[in-house]
Amino acid sequence: MSSNNKQVAVVTGSSSGIGLEASIQLARSGFLTYATMRNLEKQNVVHLTNEQEALSIRTVQLDVTDDKSVNKAIQSILSEAGRIDVLVNNAGFAVTGAFEDVALDEVKTQYETNVYGVIRTTQAVLPIMRKQRSGRIINISSGAGIFGYPGGSTYVSSKFAIEGLTECMSYELEQFGIKAILVEPGVIKTNFGSGMVLAKKAQDPKSPYSQLMQMMSSVVVKLYEGAPGAELVGKAVVEAATNPNPKLRYLVGKDVEQLAAAKKSMSDEQFQGLMKQAVS
pLDDT of 1: 43
Query: Do 255 and 138 touch, CB atoms closer than 8 A?
Result: no
Active-site residues: which are they? 155
Total Cβ atoms within 10 A of residue 145: 25
Low-confidence ranges of the chain (pLDDT < 50): 1, 3
According to DSSP, the residues that pair with 135 across neighbouring strands are 178
The DSSP element (H or E) to which 135 belongs, if any, is strand 135-140
pLDDT of 193: 64
pLDDT of 194: 66
Residue 25's contacts (CB-CB under 8 Å, 6 or more residues apart) are 231, 234, 235, 237, 238
pLDDT of 101: 98
What is the topology classification, in CATH, of domain 8-95+104-196+228-254? Rossmann fold (3.40.50)
Q: Residue 91, SS3?
A: coil
Q: How many helices (H) and strands (E) does the chain have?
A: 10, 9
